[in-house]
Amino acid sequence: MTKTPALSTETPEPLEQLLAQLAFGSELHFESGFCDHWNLLTSKSNKAALHVVTAGTLWMAIPGRLHEQLQLQAGDAIFFSHSFRHWLSDKPVDEHTTEVDFANFCVPDHLERGLVCYDIAVESPLTANLFQVMPDYIHLPASQQSGRLSPLIQLIREEAQARQPGYQAAISRLSDVVVLHLLRQVLSDDSMQQGLLAALKEPALRRVVLAIMDEPGADWTVDNMAALAFLSKSAFAERCHKIMDMTAKSLLDELRLQRARFLLIHSELSLELIAEQVGYQSATAFIRFFKQREQLSPGEFRSLHA
């Protein structure tokens, strides 16, 4: 008889080292039930965020990107790697949607629909770098939550619905654990890996990614990237293709693009200074690069996320 091997629940060592170095502080920002016919356009901040749907359904949409809006179900979690304005609404958002006086449409003990929101303050450069290379947002439906994440989110839902004394303190203190488990799932689930996230699991590539993020404007070449990874130029190129499905040049471009996007959203720096910080000798060259990758000029991108 063939014996089925036990599934390992251990976190691979390189990933364990990465998770152990992360430092962040999450706190309850908002928790409530909702009445019908409500919407909320969040404000931009310098913090990441996590939303957990405690009951019912709602829609999340980003201004200028309404085509990719999501319907969230009870038990779903959505993680924002950096804060930018987004809609939360009881129905799909369109170009005619306008903000309502949210207080008039919000009843704390309304149990048919509900939401818990956390702000996540970054407390280390490594955490900032990790969040910066993650997608703008990651939607984790309840059906796809692995390990301890699903029971933790279920506990938050139960606390929010039961509203026993101290429930807000309970769901607030659960937040750090939830974020850590979410990051563990995102970084360990091969089906969710995309480019730079996959690189962070591989020690040699992680050294290169973190070094470029520290100094995106430096004179990076394939030769010095390979040397930093302790690989030959050809072996480094092969590793990039195998792990990330990218060329070495694409890796550099993607990291510079991520930094430029962050600076455009979260700083008031001029295009000339941003160009210099991400390795371009002129604003003209930077604008050309950015528009090729984003199909928007830097100015248009900044206005969209203002």
Low-confidence ranges of the chain (pLDDT < 50): 1-10
> Would you report the helix, strand and coil content of the chain in percent, each value rounded to 5?
50, 15, 35
Across 123-258, where does the E strand assignment appear?
137-140
pLDDT at 19: 82
Backbone angles phi, psi at 165, to 5 degrees: -55, 130
pLDDT tens-digit readout, 263-286: 888 888 999 999 999 999 999 999
d(CA 200, CA 202): 5
pLDDT at 223: 95
Rounded to 5°, the CA angle 199-194-261 comes to 90
For the entire predicted model, the pTM comes to 0.76
pLDDT tens-digit readout, 175-198: 889 999 988 888 777 665 567 888
pLDDT at 6: 40
Domain residue ranges of the chain, discontinuous segments joined by +: 14-191, 196-304
What is residue 179's three-state secondary structure?
Answer: helix
d(CA 82, CA 122): 10
Class of domain 14-191: mainly beta
pLDDT at 225: 96
pLDDT at 210: 87
- CATH dotted code for 196-304: 1.10.10.60
